[in-house]
Amino acid sequence: MKPSFKLDAHPRRPRPLLSEPPAGYFDQLPTRIMARLPQADARETSADWGWLGLLSPALRTGLASVAVLGGFAASFYLSGPPPAGQGAATAAALDAVPHTELVGYLLTSGARVENADLAALTAADPGIANGFLQASDEELTEALDGQPSEDLTYL
């Protein structure tokens, strides 16, 4: 067990004395700091945007909002429409992949596919599972009966 630490039991080291500040240093310090700050008159004459200071704060906020929204609108307008062939080529390439390969990829890849996603897929094409799902009616009934159901109408 460690002995308890008591600060009073340890002697203090002597510190070297700091030099004294010059006489009147702290009395002159605020004036010297204020002298280094830029003057308000010099700031107003050097700025080209001095007329903004004459506007009310609400008008300045509105002007800034119009400038930001105008920038967004100009960027969208100047960017133009997307190339027509790019989206069609991607859709055509995806349509060329057989549905059985897509379903197999989704089931094995670790993508989070839920039952609702598969239900929407089979609703669009009811015969999609015929190529890869060979299960008897008894196996399907057993699997469906094993699913937990919270709604008593399905029991």
pLDDT in tens, 16-33: 667 788 899 999 999 999
What pLDDT, in 10s, does the model give residues 24-71?
999 999 999 999 988 766 555 555 777 777 889 999 999 999 999 999
| Cα–Cα dist 126/150, whole Å | 26
DSSP string for residues in 33-99: HHHHSPPHHHHHHH-TTGGGGGS-HHHHHHHHHHHHHHHHHHHHHHH-PPPHHHHHHHHHHHHTS-H
